[in-house]
Structure 1
Amino acid sequence: MALLVPPASLTVLAPAYIGPGAGFALGGSFLFALAGIGLAAVALLAWPVRVVVRMIRARRRPGRAKARRVVTLGLDGLDPILARKWMDAGQMPNLARLKAEGGFRPLGTTWPAMSPVGWSTFATGVDPSGHNIFDFLNRDMVTHLPILSSTRLKTHSTRRHLGPVPLPGGDHPFELLRRSKPFWTTCGEQGVASSVLRIPITFPPDRFAGRQLSAMCVPDLRGTQGTFTHFSAPGEDPAGRTTGGDRRTLEAAGPDTWRGELPGPDRSHGSGVQTVAVTVKVDASARRAEFELDGNRFTLGEHEYSEWIPLCFCEGRRRAYGICKVRVTRFEAPFAFYVSPVNIDPLHPAFPISQPAHFSLALARLHGRFATLGLAEDTWALNERVIDEQAFLDQAWANHAERERQLFHALDHQPDGVISVVFDATDRIQHMFFRYLEPDHPANAGKDTERHKDAIAQLYTRADDLVGRVLAKLGPRDVLLVVSDHGFKSFRRGVNLNAWFRRNGYLYLKSDPVFGPLPQIPVGTRYEATDVDWTRTRAYTNGLAGFYLNIAGRERNGCVPPEEALALKREIIDQLRGLPDPAGGGEAVTELWAGEDIYPGPYRENGPDVIVGYKPGYRTDWDAAVGAVTDLIVSDNTRSWSGDHCMDPRQVPGVLFSNRSFAATRPDLRDIAPSVLDLLGLPVPRHMTGRSIFAPEPEQAP
């Protein structure tokens, strides 16, 4: 699932890249090479011991394994209705084969239906109140500002130093906020091999006896969830911040030659950002541009990306290593080009992005550098029309190809245990191209509606082809589970609950009078969370899941007495259920759920007080997602991001396919983790609330 709010609002402190945890980069290639030689020697010497330990642990398994190897193939966002449509049309023969030979069911998603929540449930076998991930965002109890829900920067580090060089080991500078135990940790404890590739909410990586490459919430080298840079010669493109990126004006450096500075991480003492130089000589008639970026020379034509370009941001003796890709967006005047977010270099990570720490290095040595950013497909660059649809597709499929190489290497070299991977293209492309399925979608205004009208159909066909190639790698005792965390619907209209709260007396701005009617917010005006009067505000929203009450003793400026919270919650639920859309002619909200009614786990208090189930076609709008207040309660969504799933979870189930028949008639995401353990003959931990899909279903009481 892609990021649904401006990445700049989710900034993780960039000094992490050149402060605590940057020692791997500072040590450079020599330190990694030395560590690699040492680890290889240790691995060779320890191999007989590992074999014996695995044999002993295997004998201790309480059940006999039903499979030699379990492969979970995650296709984020694959929708059961669309999958069935194209299976019936003969365009997805491999999934149709799985349906016939094993089984296919819609897969119940989480409350709310979004990727960080769903994949955390997939991993742990518990609902959000058991693993503590309820949304992309949470709220800061002191400032009420949105913060990342899954990862935070630690305030201290126990990393050891050799002189100025931080050594491997010690605490990771970031903390993973997902709780509970994922199934791969249980596998490691039982001596079962596991390769976990790009499962969301695995940053920082889990410490367990297996291999893992982190995914969602791995930041870029600037400490954000993805900030692109767009350079242009002086002309029509204004310089400055834009949602999701920077726009920078190039300086003339000679005939048809331009120069700029690509920003990287902040300087360690807060004196601006580090940069590297980029120079480009343009031959507009030949549609060619010769670049030099941080000493790397390459030439680009029309409609092509560079390879991954290695970068080094230097500050004294400190080094921060990154990689980026470049694409020319305009040859005619004013010349312009796009630079992707600067990813952490997997060959020189500033801190571990894999388990063990050298795993990312090994993958890069085997297959070449690859995208490490948690949300690697640049949806905001397309939303802001910095790149076009073809550029986005090229980027998404290039990332997809990198992950395919990693998956098939694991399939070729790991004969048993579990291999678990998630592919993101199925989610990102549906988000950005769903408007092509609806000629009257508000996002189509002023945009192409023909060239890529088959992009989603082609996406499903390519996903099916991947399934076929994975099946060809499996043996008779291997089990394949194809899983998606949610489905997809159109996102035509956005709802700003903060606007509704203000209009109905639950939220106040600092500028609002204490007595009398509230002034109308001017059209197009946006007030941030910092403009809200929290001493009078009783309800508010940020993120995409639901809303919160401003409870005294919980939030710093809470004004709702705890004993009144339940009644207030029920009052708002009753008013919001069936919220009408004056322009759309229907209802925007179908149902709402109080947290205590759906969350039984220990982390319930960390989630929204109420989950909002939007009618398909509706979702939290872009402003309310970051806690802002505007004049309109419901408005058109005109961005390229035109499909979504953050709505009534009952309307957006995922998919479950298997090459082995299963008993469950109504499986949900909680069932996948216990199913994997059951297949491998491992004990299912008592904390898991799901049950194996292969176990007979309990008889229903009469």
Structure 2
Amino acid sequence: MTTPSEQTAAAVSRRRFLQAAASAALVAGCGKSTRPGDSTGGAGTDAPVERMIVLGVDGMDPKLLEQFVAEGRMPNCQRLMEAGSFGNLQTCDPPQSPVAWSNFISGTNPGGHGIFDFIARDPKTMQPFHSTAQPEPASGMLSLGGWQVPLSPGRIENRRQGKTFWNDLQDSGVPCTIFRVPANFPATDSDATTLSGMGTPDLQGGYGTFSYFTDHSRQRTRDVPGGNIQKVAVRDHVVECSLKGPVNSFLAEETSSEVPFQVYLDPQRPLAKIVFPDAEVLLREGEWSDWIVVKFPMLPHVVEVSGICRVLLKKAQDGFGLYVSPVNIDPSDSSMPISTPPDYAQRLVREMGYFYTQGMIEDTSALSAGILTPDEYRQQSTFVIEERMRFFEHELERFEDGFLFFYFSSLDLNSHVFWRTRDREHPAYSQELADQHGDFIPELYGKLDRAIGQAMEKADENTLLMVMSDHGFTSFRRQFNLNSWLMDNGYVGAKNPAKRGVDSYLKDVDWPNTRAYGLGINGLYLNLAGRETQGTVAQGSEAEELKSELIARLKEVRDPENGEQVIANVFRAEEIYSGPYLQDAPDLIVAYSNYYRASWDTVLGAFPRQHLLDNTDAWSGDHCVNSQIVPGVLLCNRAIQKTDPNLTDLAPTILSAFGVPVPEEMSGQNIL
């Protein structure tokens, strides 16, 4: 049996042998790719590289990058531009993060990997689900009173299809570390060291559900987007609370598991002791806790699920308010597959302490709901970037050979909610907010510049370094209710037109009288006979005529406030996608004009009366528009030869840099 060090040495020897063989083939004229722009010989005519570092900076915008470089805020990026190369990186349509990162991972378009939007739907049931991961429930239930015990376990499926470039690298002996790349939950089976990123749920199964406990007279117990508000009572300076966890599938009538906890308020000072079954913490008013481990009982004395959360004591005197973060999967005792090997997450906890596992970390929902103030949200977001920087330094220090990908989320989510501090024309702009937090986006760019500088110090002449983003950013000023427009123009029938339903997820649709519907941010589907369960549009010429009609009419939509074109383009899926999963794509992809985007009601399949309205939400910046408006960023310490590099080009480039053959399924080209 070989030891880990012997296995590593063997892998390195195998990789160097393959690289030498690839170089020899090139010299002999036998290594030339049959696809234009491809090469198995690495960066240009150079020999295969020994090491490569790719920093994935979600949402880094080329215009802002150039501005901050010119202002002297980003000296490391300036050095990289001068010594290497810099340019726009063409993103995808739609430029949504799960789609874009899947393009990066697979080296092909959505038709080749099957991810088209944040939200997908089952045409047989018309039920929506998260596009990147889908649970498969346990089967063969054995009923025991009010309990049910599965005879076979459930599982979660990663819906992104096809191979990953790091599996090709690993197969060729290149050791890989992939830190939190989006669209990789559950973590793809691999010999690589990986930690899942965007798409990883909290313990309630969503993108992140906060809890807020308050005795405020104007609040009531209710669900809000991305959270739950619970009205509580303070009795003798004690507050009884209950924290919701995962759905308990062991119960015959499935309900959320819960853990009770108590808050003891100091009658004299703004202090509170929060007591969970296995932990307690003392906080001052306005203070955040560190991570708290919470164990949710599922099957008494047999099964429990472990989570971690942080709490903020908002008010302890003259009213009570306690914010509890979404309950993250406990990386030391994970109930879901978040890393490869499975113990990688546990090793990180031992080496670095507890950390966020939730895919979308910054709690923008609590900010939009008014539960977190901008100051409190900024504190939480600062925790995120500080944690990510610590882990980056840790991974960079131990990186010696092979390939390292490291992902930063902070520019994306903070640009979403603080873009209004930069755009005076935005409906949610205020001078006060701009004065208080207009420095935060530039500050984050500066912190990322320091990380880039650290990577540059690590990179020697045999190291290829890239910094890339999946898309840029623009202002989201006005929102368009696509489904409302479809209903009012005769494409969607309503069960009760007089009532005008606004229930989410298309619940009020009269399907026999519906020809088209919107779901997700950019998707538009035909109610196609033979595909949708109550399809009305015949496949063939009728469907094609309807597509042409919708394209023409949607491109004519104008904003009554200013006369601007709302939708820049509408693409047929077959025009921009190809591959084995094309049949799963929306029939049409709506590419919005600058400053416009689908409304939140459109995303959820609802039908408000108004077609266009101001976006007054904190979520003020966005990128789900025409892809030409929001290109990403590409920085490299080598010369980029391709004039218009695309996200799909990066996987073939990475493989080629190591002398690894590029699979035929990859549609991108080697940009070096």
The answer to whether the superposition gives a TM-score over 0.5 is: yes
The percentage of counterpart residues that share the same residue type is 36
Query: Contact (CA 8 Å) 1:526, 1:630: kept in 2 or not?
Result: no
- Pick one of 54, 64, 70 that aligns with 1:82: 64
Give 3-state SS (helix, strand or coil) of 1:85's partner.
Answer: helix
Provide the residue aligned with 2:295 in structure 1. 312
Superposition deviation, residue 520 in structure 1:
8.3
- Pick one of 466, 469, 472 that aligns with 2:451: 466
Q: Deviations over 1:278-310 (max 9, x none)?
A: 222234764322221233121222433211100
Superposition deviation, residue 408 in structure 1:
2.3
Provide the residue aligned with 2:18 in structure 1. 60
Distance 2:259 2:499 in 1: 47
Query: Contact (CA 8 Å) 2:53, 2:465: kept in 1 or not?
Result: yes
Long gaps (5+) in structure 1: 1-41, 159-163, 513-518, 695-702
Where do residues 242-391 of structure 1 align in structure 2 (5 Å cutoff)?
242-254=224-236, 256-267=237-248, 268-269=250-251, 270=253, 272-283=255-266, 286-314=269-297, 315-316=299-300, 317-391=302-376
Provide the residue aligned with 1:655 in structure 2. 633
Q: Deviations over 1:459-503 (max 9, x none)?
A: 212221221122222223112110000000000111111111111
Query: Contact (CA 8 Å) 2:85, 2:640: kept in 1 or not?
Result: yes
With 570-579 and 649-658 compared, the bigger mean Cα shift is at 570-579
Q: 1:612 to 1:386 in 2, by over 3 A?
A: same
Give 3-state SS (helix, strand or coil) of 1:470's partner.
Answer: helix
- Pick one of 562, 585, 598 that aligns with 1:584: 562
TM-score if structure 2 supplies the norm length? 0.91
Q: Deviations over 1:171-199 (max 9, x none)?
A: 87111111121110101111110000100
Provide the residue aligned with 1:554 in structure 2. 531
What amino acid sits opposite 2:522 in the alignment?
A
Provide the residue aligned with 2:5 in structure 1. 47
Aligned length: 636
Query: Contact (CA 8 Å) 1:324, 1:342: kept in 2 or not?
Result: yes
Provide the residue aligned with 2:119 in structure 1. 137
Kindly indicate whether residue 29 of structure 2 is the aligned counterpart of residue 71 of structure 1.
no
Where do residues 535-554 of structure 1 align in structure 2 (5 Å cutoff)?
535-554=512-531
Q: Deviations over 1:505-549 (max 9, x none)?
A: 10111113xxxxxx5849xx5565111011111011011123111
Q: 1:510 to 1:78 in 2, by over 3 A?
A: same
Query: Contact (CA 8 Å) 2:11, 2:175: kept in 1 or not?
Result: no
What amino acid sits opposite 1:287 in the alignment?
P
What amino acid sits opposite 1:291 in the alignment?
I
Provide the residue aligned with 2:594 in structure 1. 616
Kindly indicate whether residue 426 of structure 2 is the aligned counterpart of residue 444 of structure 1.
no
Query: Contact (CA 8 Å) 2:52, 2:402: kept in 1 or not?
Result: yes
Distance 2:459 2:539 in 1: 56
Distance 2:523 2:260 in 1: 44
- Pick one of 403, 423, 435 that aligns with 2:420: 435
What amino acid sits opposite 1:196 in the alignment?
I
Where do residues 469-618 of structure 1 align in structure 2 (5 Å cutoff)?
469-512=454-497, 519=498, 521=500, 528-563=505-540, 564-618=542-596
Provide the residue aligned with 1:35 in structure 2. none
Kindly indicate whether residue 190 of structure 2 is the aligned counterpart of residue 208 of structure 1.
yes
Distance 1:327 1:476 in 2: 47
Superposition deviation, residue 334 in structure 1:
2.1
Q: 1:439 to 1:56 in 2, by over 3 A?
A: closer
Superposition deviation, residue 665 in structure 1:
1.6
Distance 1:444 1:52 in 2: 58
Query: Contact (CA 8 Å) 2:112, 2:580: kept in 1 or not?
Result: yes
Query: Contact (CA 8 Å) 2:479, 2:598: kept in 1 or not?
Result: yes
Give 3-state SS (helix, strand or coil) of 1:450's partner.
Answer: helix
Q: 1:502 to 1:446 in 2, by over 3 A?
A: farther
Distance 1:447 1:605 in 2: 49
Distance 1:191 1:127 in 2: 27
With 108-117 and 577-586 compared, the bigger mean Cα shift is at 577-586
Query: Contact (CA 8 Å) 1:445, 1:638: kept in 2 or not?
Result: no
Q: 1:555 to 1:438 in 2, by over 3 A?
A: same
Distance 2:17 2:638 in 1: 25
With 136-145 and 51-60 compared, the bigger mean Cα shift is at 51-60
What amino acid sits opposite 1:259 in the alignment?
E
Query: Contact (CA 8 Å) 1:439, 1:449: kept in 2 or not?
Result: no
Q: 1:97 to 1:509 in 2, by over 3 A?
A: same
Give 3-state SS (helix, strand or coil) of 1:371's partner.
Answer: coil
Where do residues 18-57 of structure 1 align in structure 2 (5 Å cutoff)?
45-57=3-15
What amino acid sits opposite 1:417 in the alignment?
G
TM-score if structure 1 supplies the norm length? 0.87
